[in-house]
Amino acid sequence: MTIIDKTADIPAPRSGGPDDARLLEVRDLHVEFHTRDGVAKAVNGVNYSVDSGETLAVLGESGSGKSVTAQAIMGILDMPPGKIPQGQILYRGQDMLTMSNEERRKIRGQKIAMIFQDALSSLNPVLSVGYQLGEMFRVHQGLSRKQAKLKAIELMERVKIPAAKQRVGDYPHQFSGGMRQRIMIAMALALEPDLIIADEPTTALDVTVQAQVMDLLKELQTEFNMGLILITHDLGVVADVADKIAVMYAGRIVETAPVHELYKRPAHPYTRGLLDSIPRLDQKGQELYAIKGLPPNLLKIPSGCAFNPRCPKAEDICRTEIPALVPVSEQDGSELPGRGSACHFWKETIHG
Amino acid sequence: MAELDKTDGSMDATPNVTEVVSVGAVDETAAVAAIEAPVERGEPILQVRNLVKHFPLSQGILFKRQVGAVKAVDGVSFDLYQGETLGIVGESGCGKSTVARLLMALETATSGEVFYKGQDITRLSGRALKAVRRNIQMVFQDPYTSLNPRMTVGDIIGEPFDIHPEVAPKGDRRAKVQELLDVVGLNPEYINRYPHQFSGGQRQRIGIARGLALNPEIIICDEPVSALDVSVQAQVINLMEKLQDEFNLSYVFIAHDLSIVRHISDRVGVMYLGKMAEIGTDAEIYDHPTHPYTQALLSAVPVPDPEARERGERIILAGDVPSPANPPSGCRFRTRCWKAQDKCSTEMPLLAVPERFKGSDSPAAHESACHFAEEKDIVGAAS
């Protein structure tokens, strides 16, 4: 493996920066996959942004495009079959999609790191965890093997793996699920990035271990003042850690809101449906609310609003016109900062 | 399982085999009669007593010797009443799926009994076991791997009729399968399609239809919705509740999603490392847990309400579940418990109503396997 960047340039100041550009901003991102059966439009115009120290939760079902967006940000999308026909991904104001591979590599891992869902299949089974953790330092900072190993031990201690010194030479299968996920977190943290993308970091874990891992992630985020994009489908986890939420459906963001607002007053029928389908105590013995139908096939997304075949409020306009993500306001017209809804009838949904 | 039952079928066809075991046949007929007798609503239909399953760990290639055992299930007792839903929760590796397999007689128990209408199914064989298996069916976790991709939906749902032809005579099987498809909310015209043509939720409906095919009395659901999308989970849960009322089914509902278990269950059992830690009605377990493990488990569940972040105490357990091959002495939870004392490492707490709550009619008076059982204020799941 080559050393990418021996003379690493001095890291940019952690917050703010010379220009007041956002830490990360995704603008009108489109991703499509060309398959034998046609073009699958996985992401259709996504906009979101994250600042330092902020947690953005991207909520959605499988196939909603939440992971594909993350992969596009990291630049690990398989291209082909994937293709980004339009859009921008700005890291501190620079468009990463127009950068050279060399420049991008300097950002990936060092500035933006990713935590994957399934730690067992994301770690290399034939290399010790110490080697895999140290690789970051060897490649990006040109440290020697010995130094890298010391750094690896330090990292393992930071994510609270007991007896780190003895376990640095162990292989991934020798760790439990929770410990493996900690190693994934350690790996993402290695170079103290500004932004971490966590793709379903706790889905494969038990609840008690999930609580440990989410706690650790939160603690480290505060310590390093990192931005965090948390991708999940668990409404509980989101309520616990997120600052703001973007709800995705069929490759579009259908609603954005600060966390407290979203749970209190959803402004999109899909979000409302998701919240209503959580079993609640007073509904015991009654039928659960269920969103009818199935998530759409990405090869043939319904015309108009993609949610219209499943929506209880759908009318003719929903079948013909794609609703834009518009700012949501209070009934008297006063603004609700950070809120947006892509529904023709958001007023009725939030106030009705 | 299918093969096993087929050999049973051929045994019936050759009379000389049944003659050889003629003494046993009388018992068997009595057992079958007992199994086919109906059970009143609210009566126990399944009684599990001290069920144990140890999987041997062996070493050596030529000369295998046993070096230990994974104590997957280690003394579990509970009752399932006719028409109720018993939820079983616990972390992965606590033995809940092994319990399910033992109830289905897919696994032979190391010791202990499972009484189905008074008949111990761990000791049954032949005709009687076949009769039991007709009445206890299972819905599996992963609808992507539990359906044979080379069989059509009609063949999958109709396969149980090959083994139990008395349920549906050859002629009207197709009609019966279509009726089942209709019952679970699928278009009966889909009978000739293959599993890959369906979505996850639809496949789980096919799995449920297969479970219903033989008109069973008990359905054991091993994580039936955890592989499904959130918006589809509610649909499947609603279907299962509807079917329970329609066909008077009893469910053993195994899951790790505590809020769904609370919604569907009448009683809930909490398992930890092969043992039942606490069991009671849903309100007793969720609102008045007395076992520290249940308290920790409930408080670890993220509540879908951002206001909950600020209130209530959250218990975060240290470490992982110990290996079931070498469980801690005494109380199995003591290595992660904040209340553990010397007594916990020497004396195994029994599953019983705790001394201090005995005779009181407070909801905390339910069975809990802890020496120091007491109530504690926590942020509750699904409240």
Which of B237, B296, B303 is facing A208, going by the closest CB pair? B296
Over residues A294-305, mean pLDDT: 86
Residues in chain A: 352
Q: What is the pLDDT of residue A282?
A: 67
Nearest CA in chain A to B287: A281
Answer with the residue of higher pLDDT: A80 or B110: B110
Which residue from B256, B263, B304 is facing A288, i.e. has the nearest CB?
B263
For all residues of chain A together, what is the average pLDDT? 85
- pLDDT above 60: residue B225: yes
- Find tokens 């830490």 and name the residue: A23
Give the mean model confidence (pLDDT) for residues B7-29.
Answer: 47
pLDDT bracket for residue B377 (50, 70, 90): low
Q: Is the pLDDT of residue B347 over 70?
A: yes
B230: nearest CB among A206, A233, A281: A233
Q: What is the mean pLDDT of residues B266-289?
A: 91
CATH fold, domain A24-242, is: Rossmann fold (3.40.50)
Which residue from A237, A280, A294 is facing B199, i.e. has the nearest CB?
Answer: A294
A120 touches chain B (CB under 8 A): no
For residue A126, name the pLDDT band (cuts at 50, 70, 90): very high
pLDDT of residue B21: 41
Q: Which residues of B touch A178 (CB under 8 A)?
A: 320
Chain B residues whose beta carbon lies within 8 Å of the beta carbon of residue A239: 302-306, 308-309
A163 touches B: beta carbon within 8 Å: no
Neighbouring-strand partners of residue B46: B80, B116
Which distant-in-sequence residues (6+ apart) come within 8 Å of B190 by Cβ? B153, B181, B197, B198
ipTM of the complex as predicted: 0.76
pLDDT 10s digits, A35-51: 888 888 889 999 999 99
User: What per-residue confidence (pLDDT) applies to B311?
Assistant: 63
Could you tell me which residues come within 8 angstroms of residue B27 by beta carbon, excluding any fewer than 6 positions away? none
- Tens digit of pLDDT for each residue in A81-110? 888 999 999 998 888 888 888 888 888 888
Per-residue pLDDT band for B111 (boundaries 50, 70, 90) equals very high
**Among candidates B235, B305, B318 on the partner chain, residue whose Cβ is nearest the Cβ of A263:** B305
**DSSP class of residue B313?**
-
Are residues A274 and B231, on separate chains, in Cβ contact within 8 Å?
yes
**Any residues with CB less than 8 A from the CB of B195 and at least 6 apart, and which?**
B147, B148, B149, B151, B153, B156, B203, B206
Residues of B in contact with A287 (CB under 8 A): 238, 241-242
> N- to C-terminal Cα distance for chain B?
41
**What pLDDT is recorded for position A291?**
86
Give A192-208 as a DSSP string.
Answer: --SEEEEESTTTTS-HH
Residue B20 has pLDDT above 50, yes or no: no
pLDDT digits (tens, 9 = 90+) for B62-81: 788 888 888 899 989 999 99
Distance CA B13, CA B293 (A): 52
Q: Is the pLDDT of residue A28 over 60?
A: yes
Residue of B nearest to A236 (CA): B304
Q: In this structure, what DSSP letter does residue A173 have?
A: G
Give the sign of the dihedral formed by CA A59, CA A62, CA A66, CA A71.
positive
Q: Do B231 and A260 touch (CB under 8 A)?
A: no
Section A296-307 average pLDDT: 88
pLDDT at A12 exceeding the cut of 70: no
Nearest CA in chain A to B85: A285
Q: How far apart are CA A99 and CA A85, in angstroms?
A: 16
How confident is the model at residue A3, as a pLDDT?
Answer: 52
> B24 pLDDT band (50/70/90 cuts)?
low
Q: Supply the pLDDT for residue A334.
A: 81
pLDDT of residue A18: 45
Nearest-CB residue to A294 (from B201, B242, B300): B201
pLDDT digits (tens, 9 = 90+) for B167-218: 887 788 889 999 999 989 888 888 999 998 888 888 999 999 999 999 999 9
Beta-carbon separation of A207 and B306 below 8 A: no
Contacts of B134 (CB under 8 A, 6+ apart): B164, B167, B214, B216
pLDDT band at B382 (very low <50, low <70, confident <90, very high): very low
Q: Does A292 touch chain B (CB under 8 A)?
A: yes
Q: B138: which 2 tokens? A: 């299972």
The per-residue pLDDT for B155 is 92
Parallel/antiparallel/unpaired status of strands A94-95 and B218-222 = unpaired
Q: Which residues of A touch B87 (CB under 8 A)?
A: none
Question: Under a CB-based contact definition with an 8 Å cutoff, are residues A342 and A255 in contact?
Answer: yes
Whether A10 has a pLDDT exceeding 80, the answer reads no
Pairwise CB contact (< 8 Å): A207 & B258: yes
Averaged pLDDT score across all residues of chain B: 84
Q: Which residues of A touch B237 (CB under 8 A)?
A: 279, 288
pLDDT of residue A21: 73
- Alpha-helical (H) ranges within chain B are 2-13, 15-20, 22-36, 96-103, 126-135, 153-163, 173-183, 200-212, 230-247, 258-264, 282-287, 292-300, 342-346
A162 phi and psi angles, rounded to 5 deg: -65, 150
Per-domain boundaries in chain A: 24-242, 247-351
What structural domains does chain B harbor? 44-58+68-265 (3.40.50.300), 292-368 (no CATH)
Give mean pLDDT, residues A141-162.
88
Q: Does A290 touch chain B (CB under 8 A)?
A: yes
Confidence of residue A278 (pLDDT cuts 50, 70, 90): confident
Is residue A5 over pLDDT 80? no
CA–CA min distance A97, chain B (Å):
32
> Given this model, what pLDDT does residue B26 score?
59
Let me know the angle formed at the C-alpha of A188 by A249 and A72, rounded to the nearest 5 degrees. 35
Beta-carbon contacts below 8 Å between A and B? 116
Q: What is the mean pLDDT of residues B251-273?
A: 90
Mean pLDDT of A258-280: 88
On whether any CB of chain B is under 8 Å from the CB of A215, the answer is yes
Choosing among B144, B204, B226, B231, which should be mutated to test the A contact, i.e. which has the most A CBs within 10 A?
A: B231
pLDDT at residue B268 tops 90: yes
> Quick check: A7 pLDDT over 50?
no
Measured between CA atoms, the residue of chain B closest to residue A310 is B231
pLDDT (0 to 100) of residue B123: 87
Predicted pLDDT of residue B378: 61
A57 pLDDT above the threshold of 90:
yes
Q: How far apart are the CA of A305 and the nearest CA of chain B, in angstroms?
A: 18
User: A281–B229: do the CB atoms touch at under 8 Å?
Assistant: no
